[in-house]
Amino acid sequence: MSNTISYYTDNAADFFKHSIDRDMYHIYARIEPLLPKNASILEAGCGVGRDAAYFESRGYHVTAFDASPAMVRLAAERLAHQPRVLTFQEMDYVDQFDAVCAFASLLHVPYAETSLVYEKIAHALKEGGIFYGSYKHGENKMETPGRDFYNMNKEMLKSYLGALFEIIDIWTTTDRESRFVTSADRNWINFLARKV
């Protein structure tokens, strides 16, 4: 994980440029109907704050964190509350949130640590809380310069979500950005689940 954190710290400005204006409404539109009014949301792996800022603009109470200090600095410029510098493995929230959202961030958690991280997310959620996440679609670790991606498919997600969550939906999407040139880059798997 340290190499990945260093990558995002070194490339934060470029990541901001490529991600801040990306239209994610098709995902927000699936999450919001499941949220109570004035929901408390944890944005886990908030990056530059794009999604956390959207949820704040909709009147939700948002807490955000990211493992990269540079990303947290960029996110802090657009959020009402200061994000934390924190890894998934360091999460310490208990029964606090109506939803945890992890937009393309859990994919950097090694498979050997995924169950632990999902347990921490379950602890952070209130009873019946909603968990959204997205991964690159696949079934193997993918190594790129500076970063490792731990891809997921439907069966893998089911096994990790297991007894902790009731699966609401699992679906795939395709990223049309021109900078993504291979199917491994373009195809994503998304899920919504509820804490049981």
Q: Mean pLDDT in runs of 10 for the chain (196 residues)?
A: 73 72 90 97 96 97 96 94 97 98 96 98 98 97 91 98 96 70 72 97
pLDDT for position 175: 80
- Name the β-bridge partners of 41: 62, 99
pLDDT for position 7: 77
**0.85 surpassed by pTM:** yes
Cα-Cα end-to-end distance for the chain: 29
How far is the C-alpha of 166 from the C-alpha of 178, rounded, in Å? 35
Tokens representing 28 are: 């927000």
pLDDT for position 11: 72
How far is the C-alpha of 109 from the C-alpha of 102, rounded, in Å? 12
Instruction: Give the chain's domains with CATH numbers.
Output: 2-195 (3.40.50.150)
Burial category of 62 from C-beta neighbours within 10 Å (exposed 0-12, middle 13-18, buried 19 and up):
buried
How far is residue 119 from each of residues 89, 160, 164, 165, measured CA to CA in Å? 10, 10, 7, 10
Q: Are 54 and 25 in contact (CB under 8 A)?
A: no
Cα torsion for 123, 95, 4, 24, to the nearest 10°? 120
How far is the C-alpha of 174 from the C-alpha of 156, rounded, in Å? 19
SS3 151: coil
Other C-beta atoms lying within 10 Å of the C-beta of residue 19 = 16
